[in-house]
Structure 1
């Protein structure tokens, strides 16, 4: 087994329960870690033998473009899509962070982290 990590993917998205959040938007960062078998690609040096991190990034960016009220919801959509489109992935650890959330305090970020295994 091996791990592929995409750290600090940055998007400007429109998630949140407040109407203003859907209009104004906010900065987000996403960390995605997947587990997969990397033994074949370690020997072959061929992209077809591994999980393409360009596709992983594309899935994250596309799902972040779809408005959700909750970070949990957008995070679950990302996980569902990765498992649905990339059968080689056996585990996903995902963190979605809203930077400078409008919660009435001096908070750098709010993060939702989900971990799921292929069933």
Structure 2
């Protein structure tokens, strides 16, 4: 087994419950960690024997571009789509952080973390 991590994928998205968030948008960071069998690709040196991190990045960017009121909703879409498009993933964890959220306080970021394991 092994892990592939994508750290601090930056997007500008329009998630949130407030009307202003839908209009103005804000900065987000997404971290993705997957578990899969890397033993074959470590020997073959072939991209088709591993999970392509270009695909994972594209999934994150495309799903972050679709407006959601809740970070949980966009994170769930990322989890499901990654599992569907990369069938060798055995486990995936996603962290979605809203930078400088409008919550009436001096908060650097709000982060939700969700995971999914293949059954």
TM-score (norm 2): 0.99
1:18-33 matched pairs, under 5 angstroms: 18-33=18-33
Supply the distance in 2 between the matched residues of 1:113 and 1:81 (Cα, whole angstroms). Answer: 16
Equivalent residue, structure 2, for 1:15 = 15
Q: Which runs of 5+ in 2 are unaligned?
A: none
Give 2:75's aligned residue: 75
> Residue 67 of structure 2: SS of its match in structure 1?
coil
Distance 1:83 1:41 in 2: 19
Give the Å deviation of 1:116: 1.2
Q: Any idea what the Cα deviations from partners look like across 1:47-104, whole Å, max 9, x if unmatched?
A: 1110000000000000000000000000000001001111000000110000000000
Gaps of 5+ in 1: none
RMSD: 0.4
**Aligned-partner SS, 2:32:** strand
Aligned length: 119
Aligned partner of 1:45 in structure 2 is: 45
SS where residue 107 of structure 2 aligns?
A: coil
Cα displacement (A) at 1:115: 1.4
Q: Tell me the distance in 2 between the aligned counterparts of 1:115 and 1:82.
A: 11
> 1:28 Cα deviation (Å)?
0.1
The residue that corresponds to 2:62 in the other structure is 62
Deviation string 1:19-43 (CA, Å, 9 cap, x unpaired) is 0000000000000000000000000
Partners of 2:18 and 2:118 lie apart in 1 by 33
Post-superposition shift, 1:117? 0.3
CA shift at 1:112, angstroms?
A: 0.3
SS in 2 for 1:90: strand
